[in-house]
């Protein structure tokens, strides 16, 4: 178990380190939390032993991650001397008195090779037992990721769902006339510009293994689909046909992209290889607009937006071939479908009067829940654990990113000082 985590950690770190040659963006996204979960689990995160001696404290990051989810209430550990770091130090009655159901303790020490040994234990106050605990070996620049990893383990142990604190997000920032495709940690920290242009960039889409991004750039005076490696920074045009090329979406096996091409007239959905080689295979044959394809997690169904019925609505079509079936019926404008990673529902944008809001529809019952109440909400995408939806909205005329829990109760807002942020896409779990 431990080795698996360490392996995954080192893989994720390798991905992060690969950004090193790219200039880090100065401004990180700042997060503001609005609303809380239906029930909040009271938890204390005690500062780790020797943590004050290192440049990157770990427990504040863990606590901020847990608090941001809206599912935890942080219990203060102030006024205790000495602070507990090992199970035998814990006086459970103290924590019971403070109202904590769980306590996180741990330590950091430097290893002979210069790295840090970071270890933590999650303790159940009522039962007075350890729920989980791990040790990590991390270099100084891996400490923040290690903190996210620990928050993921705690989140999973206490909620049953995998944590997404160590995942990343991609989005576009418009600064004056400059468009930047950025990738940041899920908490908005460590933003890196992976591509910039004086022409618009839009529709970033993560490869299922999180190592590549597909996106649309207008730098050739028309929409062209690119795929860029996040490990090497290299990019190539993969759909640059006569007319417009847009709306890339990865198949779950990572082998192909669904894209929208106008090469044969109109906007229709095609499959292409991720290297852009070979003939595009046409998937829709309508005289209407068919766009915004999105694969189901099992790769068998393709959702897309079409106005074949007179207004833009969401349709589902078997990838193996067969009739497209209309899925949305409420209202006259339903666009941008994105599957829940569990495959049981999808999120999309529904127009209500003059407002555009994030909604979720159940695949089986077709029940619809509208989750947001902004004026212009756009580009929703699920977190890989299906618990949160990231989307773009506008506050005082400026684009900002927001996230809403899939039950609509917890909202977070991520703002960037320097510009307009839009087109967010939540990346997958690190492989």
Partner 1 sequence: MGSLPQVIIYARNHAMKRLLTGTIILVLLTLGGCATAPSEQAGAAVEDRGKPAGPPAAAVKPAPDTGAKPLVDKPLGAAALKDPGNILSRRSVYFDFDSNLVKDEFRPLVTAHARYLQQNPGAKIRIEGNGDERGSREYNIALGQRRSEAVKQMMQLLGARASQIESVSFGEEKPRATGHDEASWAENRRADIVYLGE
Distance CA 66, CA 248 (A): 33
| Segment near partner 1 (CB under 8 A); pick from 76-84, 306-314, 317-325, 409-417 | 306-314
Q: With binding defined as CB under 8 A, does residue 312 bind partner 1?
A: yes
Whether the ω angle into residue 82 lies within 30 degrees of 0, i.e. cis, is yes
419 forms part of the interface with partner 1 (CB under 8 A): no
Count of positions on this chain that bind partner 1 (CB under 8 A): 44
Stretch that binds partner 1, among 64-72, 79-87, 90-98, 308-316 (CB under 8 A): 308-316
Touching partner 1, residues 215-234 (CB under 8 A): 218, 221-223
Please check whether residue 38 is in contact with residue 407, taking contact to mean a CB–CB distance below 8 angstroms.
Answer: yes
Give the whole-angstrom CA distance, residue 223 versus residue 219. Answer: 8
Q: Is 147 left (phi over 0), alpha (psi -120 to 50) or beta?
A: alpha
Piece of 34-42, 138-146, 188-196, 302-310 that binds partner 1 (CB under 8 A): 302-310
Among positions 71-130, residues that touch partner 1 (CB under 8 A) are none
Nearer to partner 1, 113 or 323 (CB): 323
Q: Say how far apart CA 159 and CA 132 lie, in whole Å.
A: 13
Question: With respect to partner 1, which residue has the nearer C-beta, 204 or 384?
Answer: 204
Rule CB under 8 A: is residue 200 a binding residue for partner 1? yes
β-bridge pairing 388-395 and 398-405: antiparallel
Residues 379-408 that bind partner 1 (CB under 8 A): 379, 397
Residues 6+ apart with CB under 8 A from 66: 43, 45, 72, 74, 151, 154, 155
What is the C-alpha separation between 246 and 225, in angstroms, rounded? Answer: 6
Q: Which is nearer to partner 1, 185 or 292 (CB)?
A: 292
Q: Which of these ranges, 31-39, 182-190, 237-245, 271-279, lies near partner 1 under the rule CB under 8 A? A: 237-245
Strand order across the beta sheet in which 72-74 lies: 72-74, 41-45, 102-110, 116-124, 129-138
Burial class of residue 213, CB neighbours in 10 A (0-12, 13-18, 19+): buried
- What does the per-residue mask of binding to partner 1 show for 245-284, with x meaning CB under 8 A? -xx------------x-x--xxx-----------------
Among 333, 370, 413, 420, binds partner 1 (CB under 8 A): 333
Closest contact distance (angstroms) between CB of 33 and partner 1 is 27
289 lies in the binding site for partner 1 (CB under 8 A): yes
- Best CA proximity match to 301, nearest among 338, 349, 276: 338
Site for partner 1 contains 310 (CB under 8 A): yes
287 sits near partner 1 (criterion: CB under 8 A): yes
Copy the structure tokens of residue 67: 């608090």
> Which chain residues interact with partner 1 by CB under 8 A?
199-200, 202-203, 218, 221-223, 242-244, 246-247, 260, 262, 265-267, 285, 287-289, 291-292, 305, 307-312, 332-333, 335-336, 349, 351, 354, 356, 376, 378-379, 397, 423
């Amino acid at each position: 178990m431990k080795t698996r985590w360490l392996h995954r950690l080192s893989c994720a770190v390798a991905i992060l380190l690969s950004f090193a040659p790219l200039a880090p963006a100065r401004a990180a996204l700042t997060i503001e939390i609005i609303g809380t979960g239906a029930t909040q689990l009271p938890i204390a995160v005690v500062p780790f032993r020797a943590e004050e001696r290192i440049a990157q404290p770990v427990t504040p990051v863990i606590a901020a991650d847990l608090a941001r989810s809206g599912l935890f209430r942080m219990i203060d550990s102030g006024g205790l001397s000495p602070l507990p770091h090992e199970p035998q130090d814990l006086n459970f009655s103290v924590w019971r008195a403070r109202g904590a159901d769980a306590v996180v303790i741990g330590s950091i020490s430097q290893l002979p090779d210069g790295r840090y040994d970071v270890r933590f234990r999650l303790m159940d106050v009522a039962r007075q037992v350890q729920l989980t605990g791990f040790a990590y070996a991390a270099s100084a620049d891996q400490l923040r990721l290690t903190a996210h990893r620990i928050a993921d383990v705690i989140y999973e142990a206490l909620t049953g769902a995998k944590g997404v604190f160590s995942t990343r997000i991609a989005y576009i920032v418009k600064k004056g006339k400059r468009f930047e495709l950025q990738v940041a940690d899920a908490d908005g920290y460590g933003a890196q510009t992976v591509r910039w242009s004086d022409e618009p960039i839009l529709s970033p889409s993560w490869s299922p293994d999180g190592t590549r991004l597909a996106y649309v750039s207008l730098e050739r005076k028309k929409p062209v689909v690119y795929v860029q490696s996040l490990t090497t920074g290299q990019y190539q045009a993969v759909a640059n046909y006569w007319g417009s090329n847009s709306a890339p979406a990865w198949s779950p096996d990572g082998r192909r992209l669904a894209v929208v091409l106008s090469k044969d007239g109109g906007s229709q959905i095609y499959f292409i290889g991720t290297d852009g080689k070979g003939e595009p295979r046409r998937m829709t044959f309508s005289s209407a607009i068919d766009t915004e394809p999105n694969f189901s997690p099992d790769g068998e169904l393709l959702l897309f937006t079409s106005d074949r019925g007179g207004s833009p609505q969401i349709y589902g079509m078997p990838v193996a071939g067969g009739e497209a079936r209309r899925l949305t019926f409420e209202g006259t404008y339903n666009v941008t479908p994105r599957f829940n990673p569990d495959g049981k529902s999808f999120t999309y944008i529904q127009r209500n009067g003059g407002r555009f809001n994030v909604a979720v529809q159940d695949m089986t019952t077709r029940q619809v829940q509208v989750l947001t109440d902004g004026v212009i909400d756009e580009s929703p995408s699920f977190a890989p654990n299906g618990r949160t939806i990231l989307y773009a909205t506008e506050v005082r005329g400026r684009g900002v990113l927001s996230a809403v829990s899939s039950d609509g109760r917890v909202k977070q807002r991520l703002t960037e000082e320097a510009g307009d942020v839009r087109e967010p896409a939540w990346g997958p779990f690190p492989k």
